[in-house]
Amino acid sequence: MSPLEPQPVGIPVPNPSVRSREYWDACRRGVLTYQQCSGCGFIGLRSFTVCARCLSHESRRKVSDGRGSLYSWTVVWRAPGPAFVVPYAPAVVELDEGFYMVSAVIGCETTDLTAGMRLEVEFHQVSEEIALPYFAPLMEG
Amino acid sequence: MAHPYHDVAIVGIHNTAQAIELEGHDAESIALVGALGALADAAIEVAEVDGVVGQFAQETVLELGLGPCSRRPNMLGIPAVLEAASMICSGECDVVLISAGGARLHRERSHTAPWTRPANELVVGYGLFTAAEFALMARRHMITFGTTAEHLATVAATIRNNGHDNPEAVYSGRGPFTPQDILASRVVADPFHLLDCAMTSEGGCGIVLARADRAAGCAHRTWMLGAASDSFGPAYTVAPVWDYTPRDGGDNAGNVGARAARTAFRTAGLSPDDVDVCELYDPFSFEIIRQLEAFGFCAEGEGGPFVAEGNITADGKLPVTTDGGTMSFSHAGIAAQQLQRVIRGVEQLRGTTKSHQVEHAEVAMCSNGGSGALFTDVLLLGSDQP
């Protein structure tokens, strides 16, 4: 049995930039946000200056329900550095709003991972400043 | 209309010794050894070089006393070759030197190699590194098309066996390998086992290009038939999504390199059927399966069965990565191993390989990059002037 858990404090953490500060601030409040173009409705995880589809300069951050499906994953047994506890499961999650993001699946066994499994965001503090959005199996109902 | 590369030939190639660790060298010094070796191979004097391309272009200008000299720093692999060719075709230069090397970059073995660890804020906290990024693409292909771990292992065994037979490979004599041997190695990032992944080593290399009239006196001339580069954005910053298709009606990110291959074949006036040998970039076993599909050697989703049928072995219909590639020949960091795909393609067309020479090879396809990094470069080489 290899349960998947959040990483401990001490892993390399994100260094928010002027364009991502709002995203990480929301994460610290336990809220997952994404960017939506005001012109055509195009969405993405990252903030953008210009919409990649219609080139509009008008966009805003919106709150995601934090639910989605497992699009792809890997189970890592050889980490890039000693700070990470293995195994862990980096994943691409397709959020119900229609955008993709890199995260990691927690709260289940490595053998439970299946394509399309329903997931829900769960935040875990990995430094004083950063709460990382992870995804755990969604308990329906 | 004249062919865009009618007036430029590859006239010199060289690989330095490749090893897990090279004593007495750093990346810059071993790249310089590669550069001088390529000039010696071409029998061209240092003083004739009037353009330098590559990761140490400016240092090479200084070390060889070439100033004033044209230079294009920071160009790697196939894009460096394209840059060198354009410097000649535009009339800026007559002889352009490309070099690359890696040494003393990866000695901290508690970590994976430094170039495999991206620092972007949206991925760094999840412990992503190149093997995991590429695994996310491979997994999606397995979900969508039913590609299996055995298919991946077949690729790794094939390329590692090529390296086993190559006296110049870092892992010469390490095999032979069966797909079962690959599957029995420890898991790095599922579905990749250790032996599905590139190794790390040290070494340098160089290539010399010359304008056709200068090349006329050279012993070996290899020609560029077509080339192009595809990118979907910076590597290791956004989710590697197989189905990402930002351009209406365009290729998806999983097939990065498909457009480049179509462009290269169109410029060459050739099709995949005309290719005698494929010197494809092999950072991870799956990437060979993906490239065979994207480049048109088989249909999308059929790369797994294509390799399972034995097509890519050294004696198969389409020999792939015949020197052992980054899995077995060498993987000296960031640039050298990409340029070495081109060097091996040239060796095949010259008929001078020390192992797995493809008889009467006239067209070679070389590639760099991979889906996990969102870019793929393609170069078609030929033994006849286009």
- What tens digit of pLDDT does each residue of A15-29 get? 999 999 999 999 999
Burial of B285 (0-12, 13-18, 19+ CB in 10 A): buried
- What tens digit of pLDDT does each residue of B46-56 get? 999 999 999 99
Which A residues, 24 through 53, put their C-beta within 8 Å of a C-beta on chain B?
24, 45-46, 52-53
ipTM of the shown complex: 0.97
Total length of chain A: 141
φ, ψ (nearest 5 deg) of residue A46:
-75, 150
Residue in A14, A79, A101 closest to B125 by CB? A14
A77 shares contact with chain B (CB less than 8 Å) = yes
Residues of B in Cβ contact (< 8 Å) with A132: 125-126
Q: Give the Cα separation of A82 and A105 in Å (integer).
A: 20
A79 shares contact with chain B (CB less than 8 Å) = yes
Rama region for A97: left / alpha / beta (φ>0; ψ in -120 to 50; rest): alpha
Going by C-alpha positions, the residue among B110, B197, B134, B114 that lies closest to residue A84 is B110
Going by C-alpha positions, the residue among B338, B292, B282, B295 that lies closest to residue B158 is B282
Going by C-alpha positions, the residue among B372, B308, B294 that lies closest to residue B137 is B372
Q: State the DSSP H helix or E strand holding residue B10, giving kind and residue range, or none if neither.
A: strand B8-15
Q: Is the dihedral of CA A104, A107, A110, A115 positive or negative?
A: negative
Residues of B in Cβ contact (< 8 Å) with A82: 110-111
- What tens digit of pLDDT does each residue of A72-122 get? 999 999 998 899 999 999 999 999 999 999 999 999 999 999 999 999 999
Total length of chain B: 386
Q: Is the pLDDT of residue A141 over 70?
A: no
First-to-last alpha carbon distance for chain A, in angstroms, is 27
- What tens digit of pLDDT does each residue of B151-210 get? 999 999 999 999 999 999 999 999 999 999 999 999 999 999 999 999 999 999 999 999
* pLDDT given at position B16: 98
Burial of A137 (0-12, 13-18, 19+ CB in 10 A): middle
Residues of B in Cβ contact (< 8 Å) with A80: 111-112, 116-117, 127-129
In the block, tokens 């097509």 appear at B311
- What tens digit of pLDDT does each residue of B262-321 get? 999 999 999 999 999 999 999 999 999 999 999 999 999 999 999 999 999 999 999 999
- What tens digit of pLDDT does each residue of B2-21 get? 899 999 999 999 999 999 99
Q: Is the pLDDT of residue B119 over 80?
A: no
What global pTM score does this model have?
A: 0.97
CB B198 within 8 A of CB B283: yes
CB count in 10 Å sphere of residue B355: 17
Q: Do A130 and B125 touch (CB under 8 A)?
A: yes
Rounded-to-10 torsion of CA B332, B334, B336, B340: 100
Q: Give the Cα separation of A60 and A43 in Å (integer).
A: 10
Q: Which residue has the higher pLDDT, B2 or B366?
A: B366
| Mean pLDDT value of segment A38-66 | 95
pLDDT, mean over chain B: 96
